[in-house]
């Protein structure tokens, strides 16, 4: 067998028993009928699993099908629509939880593999490369999801919630979306973000966070700019859009600004900013430092709470 095929087979083998098919059920009279399917994967030995919020939202009952065809009921622990993530718990024994990797180590061009159940076809494997990192994705419902990995690994309806793995079989993202009528534009939520969300959902059943109202993309900072301003940053967050009426708009953040620090802490990824926008920042003045036309500008910004969506 050729080395490339062996690499993929070994990676899939490491993660395959963690993958599940999720079925959303809705009551119709006295019966519970299927109302949609998706994917998910176990990330702990005690039955916790990741999926997308849009896969399970408003479900009246959830069942999961394991790798061997066994079906068990699943309990919703919590969901976060603003990252399109949800955590379920299922009572199962014959599985090996996925090993969670480190999304910050991903590189553009790196081989990745998507596992899922597209259109109900159980345990489907596709592969591609990392096309871009640190994207902000606006979904069809209008939500902005940060810390997104762009890949050309083909995804279809039913892949949502499945794992995106590297060649070591480690999960680096949670598959979430494609852009309709576009080829090779598929997205996964960073596993770093997913781990942070899971901790809150398991502990509190919800996520409470501060919101700025910006879309960003990670870019390299010009060495001469970093040197001129004596910055430690090698990268920055390029502001691609500012939501009207948002805290960022009120603070004077502009499209095209390069965010380099939050409260004087250097920022090089949207993951870092995401982790800093905690509950205690809501309604309190914070400091945002940007590079604008080669000038360093300090702004005062007051984050607001992300409102729970229906």
Cα Dmax for the chain: 70
Q: Which residues of 71-87 are buried (b: 16+ CB within 10 A; e: fewer)?
A: eeebebbbbbbbbbbbb
Select from 197, 216, 195, 193 the least CA-distant residue to 207. 197
Neighbours of 178 (CB within 10 A): 18
Question: In a 10 Å sphere around its CB, with 0-12 CB exposed, 13-18 middle and 19+ buried, how is residue 19 labelled?
Answer: buried
Residues 99/196/63/175 CA torsion (nearest 10 deg)? -70
Q: Which of 39, 53, 160, 190 is catalytic?
A: 160
Select from 140, 134, 136, 133 the least CA-distant residue to 180. 140
Q: Is 215 a catalytic residue?
A: no
Show the CA angle centred on residue 51, arms to residues 9 and 25, nearest 5°: 115
Q: Is 244 a catalytic residue?
A: no
Task: Please list the residues that pair with 299 across neighbouring strands.
Answer: 288
Q: Which of 54, 67, 127, 196 is catalytic?
A: 54
Do 266 and 289 meet the contact criterion of CB atoms below 8 Å apart?
A: no
Residue 250, φ and ψ in degrees, nearest 5: -65, -30
Q: Which of 82, 84, 146, 271 is catalytic?
A: 84
CA distances from 35 to 26, 45, 51, 299 (A): 6, 28, 16, 47
- Euclidean distance between CA atoms 245 and 248, whole angstroms: 8
Do 110 and 132 meet the contact criterion of CB atoms below 8 Å apart?
A: no
Q: Is 6 a catalytic residue?
A: no
Instruction: Give me the active site residues, please.
Output: 54, 84, 160
């Amino acid at each position: 067998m050729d080395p490339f095929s062996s690499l993929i087979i070994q990676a899939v083998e490491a993660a395959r028993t963690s993958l599940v098919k999720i079925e959303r059920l809705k009551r119709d009279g006295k019966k519970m009928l299927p109302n949609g399917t998706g994917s998910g994967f176990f990330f702990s030995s005690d039955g916790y699993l990741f999926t997308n919020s849009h896969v399970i939202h408003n479900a009246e009952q959830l069942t999961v099908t394991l790798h061997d065809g066994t079906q068990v009921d699943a309990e919703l622990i919590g969901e976060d629509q603003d990252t399109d993530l949800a955590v379920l718990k299922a009572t199962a024994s014959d599985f090996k939880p996925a090993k969670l990797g480190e999304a910050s180590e991903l590189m553009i061009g790196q081989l990745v593999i998507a596992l899922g159940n597209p259109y109900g076809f159980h345990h489907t494997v596709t592969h591609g490369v990392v096309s871009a990192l640190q994207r902000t994705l606006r979904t069809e419902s209008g939500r902005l999801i940060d810390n997104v990995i762009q890949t050309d690994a083909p995804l279809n309806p039913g892949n949502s919630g499945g794992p995106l793995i590297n060649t070591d079989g480690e999960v680096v993202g949670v598959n979430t979306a494609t852009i309709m009528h576009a080829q090779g534009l598929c997205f996964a939520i960073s596993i770093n973000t997913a781990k942070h969300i899971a901790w809150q959902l398991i502990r509190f059943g919800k996520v409470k966070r501060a919101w700025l109202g910006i879309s960003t993309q990670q870019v390299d900072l010009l060495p001469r700019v970093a040197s001129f301003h004596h910055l430690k940053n090698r990268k920055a967050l390029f502001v691609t859009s500012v939501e009207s009426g948002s805290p960022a708009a009120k603070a004077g953040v502009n499209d095209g600004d390069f965010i380099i620090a939050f409260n004087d802490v250097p920022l090089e990824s949207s993951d870092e900013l995401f982790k800093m926008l905690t509950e205690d920042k809501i309604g309190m003045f914070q400091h945002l430092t940007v590079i604008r036309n080669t000038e360093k500008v300090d702004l005062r910004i007051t984050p607001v709470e992300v409102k729970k969506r229906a």
